Amino acid sequence: MAKLRIRVDQDKCQGHARCKSLAPELFELDEYGNAHEAGDGSVPEGLEDKAWLAQTNCPEIAIEVTEE
């Protein structure tokens, strides 16, 4: 499986926090509850499904998943 990288678009994120609930390993919330990709956004092996799950449940379509 290709290596995945995620990024949360800060202009789009409104803090629904669906990603944090679905993939807590991959996202961090700031003091306002807005989401950021954890670390540099690279998705550890085995968490690819969770990355896609977060992406497909974000109401604001704020999460980009790219294959490297």
- Least distance in angstroms from the C-beta of 42 to other proteins: 24
**Residues 17 and 59 sit within 8 Å (Cβ to Cβ):** no
Q: CB 21 → other proteins: shortest distance, Å?
A: 6
Between 29 and 65, whose beta carbon lies closer to other proteins?
Answer: 29
Work out how close the CB of 36 gets to other proteins at its nearest, in angstroms, rounded to a whole number: 13
Contact 47, 26 (CB under 8 A): yes
Could you give phi then psi for residue 7, rounded to 5 degrees? -150, 135
Chain positions contacting other proteins, by CB under 8 A: 14-18, 20-22, 29, 31-33, 53, 56-61
Q: Using the minimum distance from each CB to other proteins, give the nearer residue, 16 or 36.
A: 16
* Rounded distance between C-alpha atoms, residue 6 and residue 29, angstroms: 15
